[in-house]
Chains A and B, each alone.
Chain A
Amino acid sequence: MDSLPERDPQGFLVNLNDWTPSVASDIANTEAITLTDAHWEVIKLLRHFYQEYELSPAMRILVKLCKEKLGDEKGNSIYLLQLFPGSPAKLASKIAGLPKPTNCL
């Protein structure tokens, strides 16, 4: 845990370039989540989305993204809540090394 790069008070990486898959696992551990393939699928989607648009998607857009790329079974809030309990958009962005979603209304 000591090796985690600098994070803001909410746990988001200060420098996005610090992200590596092992950093992702460490951040997930601090949130009591063990990453599975199902998590990685979403994390990869998020990182790709950010590369393309420089945006951290809020919940509705994350659901839409998962629906489009992973299918209807995974494109819903219940599925995402199971993987990233509480606030999926926020938590998944944090683990994927994205900034906090701005339109988190």
Chain B
Amino acid sequence: MTIELDEISNEDTAIESKFDLLIVLQQAPYSSASANEALDLALAAGTFEQKVALLFIEDGVYQLMSEQAPDALQQKSLEKMINALSFYGVSMLAVESHSLFERDLHPEKHIIQGVHFELLNTKSIQDLYDRSKTIIRF
């Protein structure tokens, strides 16, 4: 019975498309150039019409927090870069739901609005990995 339920829920969230490139963002923003580099890569790959997916996981989910104000750090706003992704043709943005839960972040309260994120469980993430030709972690 449990197995059946799992199969159903997995089917519901299954990701249909295949991706040329999956970028996994797993580090907190602004402490290093990592997030910035990952998003640069996403924008460049999107520019050249590659099918790109982004997965925010672990401390990488902090990159999605709204009202980022990095002016004092003299860094570019990651929030603005994330908002630009869809114009650059990057439309698949996924977040591991458990990482949000662990950090007490709520999609409606703390996360950038106006951008669509897929909330994925561990199984769906495995599915996303399986459907991606190349995976790069930052």
Q: Which residues of A contact B (CB under 8 A)?
A: 52-55, 58, 60-61, 64-65, 102-103, 105
Contacts and interface: CB of A to CB of B under 8 A. Distances in A.
Given A61-B87, A61-B88, A64-B87, A55 B44 contact: no
Given A64-B87, A102-B40, A52 B47 contact: no
B80 A52 contact: yes
Given A61-B87, A103-B40, A55 B81 contact: yes
A60 B43 CA distance: 11
Interface in B107-125: none
A65 B40 CA distance: 18
A58 B40 CA distance: 12
Interface string B64-87: 000000000000110011011001
B77 A54 contact: yes
A54 B76 contact: yes
Contacts of A61: 47, 87-88
Nearest to A59: B47
Contacts of A53: 80-81, 83-84, 87
A20 B88 CA distance: 28
Contacts of B80: 52-55
A87 to B, nearest CB: 15
